[in-house]
């Protein structure tokens, strides 16, 4: 737009447009430089590191050793467990989030009493730092003192004669399937507020006339949901799920504190495996190689995001 003004206008206007562009870069520049410096440089270093033989004791990159670190990474069975778990946990979390965020935003779009209070309470999970939230769940899902177990015992689902057998406890974090389900639950719990905020914003942007018209036509609740709300919400739902996917796939605090990857290595995920190798194990280069395996997935997400942005520009 500035270019047009510069080309067609008199010289004075061209000067103004140039000034504006300079100001534009002056205002955008610091953010770009900061991010470029503190993300770009480490990113290049991450790639170099993964090809080197650096350790925590000797963190300098002396020589490149080729694909050795990658080969060593994929030779470990834990790596494949971690990769599979990362993908599986992220997928299940997104699936649940898509349903729950749509439902919750549908509820919050209506007026009701005590709305402010409900809004405030619903945002609680997002207000907790991830690590502290994981600790809170660790206590909630404690193997012996979980209040959930107590509730299940009270309604006779657990314990002698209960549906789930005579045992007094579920051991949520001690069995592989339940442990994965617990991690997914914590992720959904934590991401639901942000996803709902984003979807709710999209829900409020749907023109009222669409709903009014549907009501005149006599469409029921589910018909309106399927025909109007969900199609109109697809773009924002995608944005919400993208954010959630990045935060869940890249998160290690939940697993690190909740299960420490256990039982055994059954709930290991890529970021935590990279951390264990790189920092605790002292193998910087090996950890970097493991972490870089996240890149193809993230690149896929990035391409999806760009295509989405492009498509919305086209329409």
Partner 1 sequence: MRRGLRTVAFYCGLAAFTLFSVFPGIWMVLTVFKRNTDLYSIAANPFWFHPGPTVRHLLFLFTGTHFLRFALNSLLIGACVVPITLLLSVPAAYALARLTGRWGERSGMVLFLVYLIPPTLLFLPMYQVVTFLGLANTLWALVLVYPTITVPFCTWLLLGFFKSIPRDLDEAAMIDGCSRFEAFRRAVLPLALPGIGACVVFAFSLQLSDYIYAATFVTATGAMPVSVGVPTELIRGDVFFWQGLMAADAIVAIPLMLAYGLLFERLVSGFQSAETAAAGS
Residues 111-170 that bind partner 1 (CB under 8 A): 112, 116, 118-133, 135-140, 144-145, 147, 150, 168
> According to the binding rule CB under 8 A, does residue 27 interact with partner 1?
yes
The answer to whether the CB of 194 falls within 8 A of the CB of 243 is yes
State in angstroms the smallest separation of the CB of 296 from partner 1: 12
Least Cβ distance, residue 117 to partner 1 (angstroms): 8
Selected from 7, 9, 18, 25, the binder of partner 1 by CB under 8 A is 25
Helix (H, G, I), strand (E, B) or coil at 24: helix
Q: Which of residues 36-95 bind partner 1 (CB under 8 A)?
A: 38-39, 41-43, 45-46, 49, 59
Site for partner 1 in 198-227 (CB under 8 A): 198, 200-202, 204-205, 221
Told to check if 23 binds partner 1 by CB under 8 A, we report yes
Please give the Cα distance from 309 to 304 (Å, whole number): 9
Binders of partner 1 in range 1-20 (CB under 8 A): 1-3, 19-20
Residue 185 CA to residue 170 CA, distance in Å, equals 15
Name which of 43 and 80 has its Cβ closer to partner 1: 43
Q: How many residues does the chain have?
A: 315
d(CA 38, CA 48): 16
DSSP 217-283: TT--HHHHIIIIIHHHHHHHHHHHHHHHHHHHHT--HHHHHHTTT-STTTT--HHHHHHIIIIIS--
Q: Whole-number minimum distance, CB 75 to partner 1, in Å?
A: 20
Q: How far is CA 198 from CA 41, 151, 192, 306, in A?
A: 32, 34, 10, 18
Of 7-15, 69-77, 224-232, 296-304, the segment contacting partner 1 by CB under 8 A is 296-304
Span near partner 1 by CB under 8 A; candidates 68-76, 77-85, 89-97, 298-306: 298-306
Q: What is the rounded CA–CA span in Å between residue 132 and residue 173?
A: 17
Q: Which residues, 233 to 272, sit near partner 1 by CB under 8 A?
A: 235-236, 239, 246-247, 249-253, 256-257, 270-271
In whole angstroms, the minimum distance from the beta carbon of 268 to partner 1 comes to: 13
Where does residue 54 fall: left (phi above 0), alpha (psi -120 to 50 degrees), or beta otherwise?
A: beta
Under a CB-based contact definition with an 8 Å cutoff, are residues 244 and 195 in contact? yes
> Least distance (Å) from partner 1 to the CB of residue 163?
20
99 binds partner 1 (CB under 8 A): no
Q: Does 107 bind partner 1 (CB under 8 A)?
A: yes
- What's the closest the beta carbon of residue 30 comes to partner 1, in angstroms? 5
The answer to the question of residue 24 lying near partner 1 (CB under 8 A) is: yes
Is residue 251 exposed (0-12), middle (13-18) or buried (19+ Cβ within 10 Å)? buried
């Amino acid at each position: 737009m500035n270019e047009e003004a510069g080309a067609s206008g008199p010289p004075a206007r061209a000067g103004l447009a140039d000034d504006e562009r300079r100001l534009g870069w002056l205002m955008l520049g610091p953010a770009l430089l900061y991010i470029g410096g503190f993300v770009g440089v480490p990113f290049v270093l991450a790639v170099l590191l993964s090809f080197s033989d650096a350790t925590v004791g000797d963190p300098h990159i002396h020589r490149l050793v080729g694909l050795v670190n990658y080969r060593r990474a994929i030779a470990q069975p834990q790596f494949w467990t971690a990769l599979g778990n990362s993908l599986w946990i992220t997928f299940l979390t997104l699936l649940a989030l898509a349903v729950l965020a749509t439902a919750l935003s549908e509820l919050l779009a209506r007026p009701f009493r005590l709305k402010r209070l409900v809004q405030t309470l619903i945002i609680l999970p997002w207000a907790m730092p991830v690590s502290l939230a994981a600790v809170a769940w660790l206590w909630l899902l404690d193997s012996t003192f979980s209040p959930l177990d107590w509730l299940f015992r009270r309604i006779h689902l657990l314990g002698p004669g209960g549906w789930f057998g005579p045992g007094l406890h579920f051991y949520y974090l001690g069995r592989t399937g339940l442990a994965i389900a617990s991690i997914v639950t914590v992720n959904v719990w934590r991401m639901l507020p942000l996803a709902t905020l984003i979807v709710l914003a999209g829900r409020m942007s749907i023109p009222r006339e669409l709903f009014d018209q549907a009501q005149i036509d006599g469409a029921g609740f589910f018909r309106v949901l399927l025909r109007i709300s969900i199609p109109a919400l697809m773009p924002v739902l995608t944005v919400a799920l993208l954010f959630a996917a990045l935060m869940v796939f890249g998160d290690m605090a939940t697993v690190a504190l909740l299960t420490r990857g256990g039982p055994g290595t059954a709930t290991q995920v890529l970021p935590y495996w990279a951390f264990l190798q790189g920092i605790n194990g002292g193998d910087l280069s090996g950890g970097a190689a493991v972490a870089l395996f996240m890149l193809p997935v993230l690149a896929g997400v990035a391409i999806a995001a760009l295509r989405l942005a492009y498509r919305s520009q086209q329409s």
